[in-house]
Chain A
Amino acid sequence: MLPLIQTTAITKTYDADQSVVHALRGVDLWVKRGEFVALIGPSGSGKSTLMAILGCLDSPTSGQYTLDGQSVEALPPPALARVRNEKIGFVFQYYNLLPRANVLRNVELPMLYAGVPRKERTERAKELLDKVGILEKARQFPSQLSGGQRQRVAIARALVNRPALLLADEPTGSLDSRTGSEVLALFRQLHRQGNTVIIVTHDPSIAALAERKVELSDGLVAAAKSAA
């Protein structure tokens, strides 16, 4: 079976004031379907950049990136938007919910961009809110929720278009340890249900929960080892 993610010699350079910053210097990475991968490394290692490229938020300077059988490294912005919408679910450290939309609307939004009919949107959003355990908060606004609840909403939103890849960037970074571990438990549950999960973190204890750790250092994959 084809891997879900296959990158070959991905590089990314930024033009800073006077110099050129090489954030990625040739990353080769494979992720199989159904895997649970932790992307670790200290700040400045390039893991955020890699995550942006894996999430199709940004395009690599050079190299190839195949996601779910589709070559995406050179897609124009509208096509990348569609890929993000259909294939990728994001979970961010700071939740990134729309403050002026209620929980249900936040979760419905990706389906709106996908053109899902209204009735189905509401049904699916409620189904997922139920799955992450906060259906009763559907009519509330993000500001009325605790951090853990917000992150659950974000996870529901990430899953609502049945993405091929769940991409989480420090998902417990703003949570206390108890709610953090609850959220992590949710990720593991989702993984057991067949979702491919990549968690970006600098915390080794979180990375330890993953099947496999990919460690980035200085814009290169330093070590890739199986945990389980």
Chain B
Amino acid sequence: MTASGAFWIRLSNAWMEIRENLGRSILQSLGIILGVASVLGGLSISDSQRRRSDELFVRLGGLDKLNVQPAQAAKDGTPTALQMANLGLRSKDAKDGAEMDRSQVFGVSTQKSGRARVRSPFADQDRAITGIGVDYLRVEGYELAAGRSFTSEDLRNNAPIAILGSEPQEVFFPTGDPLGKTIRVGDVPVVVVGLLKERVFHFRKSGRNIFRGRNRIIALPATLVQWRFEGDQYQKLERVTFKIPQLSAMELFSKNLSQLLVSNHRQQNDFRLDDVAARVTKQRKNGDVYDVIFMLSGVLSLLGGGLVNVNIQLASLKERVREVGIKMAIGSSGREIFKEFMTESMLLAGLGALVGLALGCAFSWFILQTIEVPLYLRASSFGLAVGLATLSGFLFGLYPAFRASRLSPMEALRYD
């Protein structure tokens, strides 16, 4: 049959049938159009949002990070003596953690914050200062615009040097190049050795720069902060971040790290591990709910449209009984009639899917335009939407096609 081009003739007949009954055909495919539009539009909107968040995380220095922060050991009541005696997170923890598995840890960023009066010939402000380790800038996604970053030598020597974010560069040296100049942080004169690039990320186009706070950084070697500003011989830290590119190694590492820290901290759980990747995955899981909702509304629309389709097709079958009878009289088998009806229903679903895809693109583009997130279309969303439409066209075509194929030629010919 295929050799004689029967398929193409069926297809062209189906096309003719659809064109001849344009109004009815549009009604029939409306469910599919809306379903496809809803599936594609919904998925594209959430994909675009997700993609934007992914971009944000990359700009934050990647997902492959494990944060450790100090936490209250005693949840309520008076802390025990042992808990009181604990020192919290220290530089030693960071060092031990990094040495635990050299092959997996690609950077340890340590952070110790303080506040101090910062002065230059142009400004005099009370500012937050950040004591950082060697890897901090890299792990946190900062980039140098000029100068250098801190070395382990600097940290060992408590070197009186500073790296400035883009905002303090402007504030303390409005006339230009701060590199090599001295600022006073508290009572300590420090030399500016590095300048950071301005970091910009707008989740929505007209939204605020969410990196604004990060541009305010005034970074000193963590050891300098611990020693000169906090007077802290124990080298306490506010945060330690391990960069572990191998996400599969993360779980084991965090388990081992946890044990290490507990033993370092006299068996106290006075710290908190935060696996960024796990957190993001969890967040994303919550986002999946929306996917399911969009999918469901799409599927329901396809279902409703499909049922309407069955009704219209059955009604239109009444007009075509005679035609079916003629075809049967001249030798068409029920199977052939079945194929003809199925071809029509699939073609209708296919055309409906195309319109639906266009509509879905327009729909998601419009929504994203209003929330100012760039549109991101995934091929698999298209696939899914078209797949569902095809499935619906197939399933809901079956019954009318079956009915048509089972007509008795005699009765069909006599039908008026």
Contact = CB atoms under 8 A, between A and B. Distances in A.
B333 A96 contact: no
B416 to A, nearest CB: 10
A52 B4 CA distance: 30
Interface of B: 1, 3-6, 9, 13, 16-17, 20, 322-323, 325-336, 408-410, 413
Contacts of B408: 58
B17 A113 contact: no
Contacts of A109: 327, 330
Contacts of A85: 330-332
A110 B1 CA distance: 12
A65 interface: no
Interface stretch (A25-33, A76-84, A175-183, A200-208): A76-84
A161 B329 CA distance: 13
A117 B3 contact: yes
Q: Interface on chain A toward B: helix, strand, loop, or mixed SS? A: helix
Contacts of B9: 112
Given A112-B9, A116-B4, A98 B331 contact: no
B1 A81 contact: no
Contacts of A101: 13
Given A57-B413, A58-B410, A77-B334, A96 B3 contact: no
A176 to B, nearest CB: 23
Given A98-B323, A98-B326, A115-B3, A81 B333 contact: yes
A90 B4 contact: no
13 contacts: A55-B329, A58-B409, A77-B333, A81-B334, A81-B409, A82-B333, A90-B329, A96-B413, A100-B20, A101-B13, A109-B327, A112-B4, A115-B6
Contacts of A68: none
Contacts of B5: 118
B331 A110 contact: yes
Interface in A19-77: 52, 55, 57-58, 77
Contacts of A112: 4, 6, 9
Contacts of B410: 52, 57-58
B14 to A, nearest CB: 11
Contacts of A90: 329-330
A100 B16 contact: yes
Contacts of A58: 408-410
Identify whether the interface residues of B are mostly helix, strand, loop, or mixed: helix
Contacts of A150: none
A112 B7 CA distance: 10
Interface residues of A, number: 31
Of B3, B17, B329, B408, chain A has the most CB atoms within 10 Å of the CB of: B329
Contacts of A77: 333-334
Contacts of A82: 331, 333
A14 B394 CA distance: 36
Contact of B330 (A52, A115, A157): A157
A114 interface: yes
A130 B219 CA distance: 97
A161 B326 CA distance: 16
A158 B326 CA distance: 12
B335 A78 contact: yes
A115 B1 contact: yes
Given A57-B413, A58-B410, A110 B330 contact: yes
A86 interface: yes
A115 B5 CA distance: 9
A101 B327 CA distance: 12
A157 B334 CA distance: 20
